[in-house]
Amino acid sequence: MLIILYGPPGVGKSYICQWLAKRYAFYCYDADTHLTQQMRQCINNRQPFSQMMRDAFFTQVIRHIQRYLKQYHTVVMAQAISQKKNREQLRRAFPDARFVHINTSAQLQLERLESRGDWVTADWVDKLIAVQEPANTEHDHINNNHDTSHLEQQFSQLFKQWDCLQYQAGPVK
């Protein structure tokens, strides 16, 4: 099974990915670990990525996911995936994947970004949000405004909806 978490920076995608990995013994893949050198230069220069850069990046991400799915029962990927075109690229490669848009309040998003102390700054997020396309309406949505018990409730509902009841009771041994 492949679960794809997406949404703007600061909403908690990586946190949720790691939490799901720990809670349910899934494999967490933070796709930002495979950003290309060209993308890293854009980040350093505070410039947005071109669509060509995104397309090439997601081609690489697809290869990594294919490899991880051969090794792990369930893979959870976290990445902004700002463009619907790239979400579709992933959907074509993994038609059974479960896409989950993560959101949070603007205030909480800003607080999280400020506490991270990394390259993702508020001005960079403004540039990213300017090119971020809305979430796909057919995808599932998780609100990350609360604690892990709230996440647990929401994911339990999704697992039931996806007919993955074995995950409700805890990690698969």
Decide if 172 is inside a domain. Answer: no
- Per-residue pLDDT at 4: 99
Decide if 154 is inside a domain. Answer: yes
Looking at every residue in the chain, the average pLDDT score rounds to: 90
Decide if 78 is inside a domain. Answer: yes
Decide if 73 is inside a domain. Answer: yes
Decide if 48 is inside a domain. Answer: yes
Decide if 173 is inside a domain. Answer: no
Number of domain units in the chain: 1
Q: Could you count the other beta carbons within 10 Å of the beta carbon of residue 83?
A: 17
- The string of pLDDT tens digits covering residues 44-82 is 888 889 999 999 999 999 999 999 999 999 999 999 999
For residue 127, is pLDDT > 60? yes
pTM of the model: 0.90
- The string of pLDDT tens digits covering residues 97-108 is 999 999 999 889
Decide if 130 is inside a domain. Answer: yes
User: Which residues constitute the domain of residue 126?
Assistant: 2-167
**CATH at residue 131:** 3.40.50.300
Q: Could you count the other beta carbons within 10 Å of the beta carbon of residue 142?
A: 22
Q: Which of 29, 48, 26, 67 is nearest to 123 (CA)?
A: 48
Q: Which of 129, 142, 77 is nearest to 103 (CA)?
A: 142
- DSSP calls for 42-73: HHHTT-PPPHHHHHHHHHHHHHHHHHHHHH-S
For residue 169, is pLDDT > 50? no
Q: Distance between CA atoms of 128 and 163, rounded to whole angstroms? A: 35
Decide if 146 is inside a domain. Answer: yes
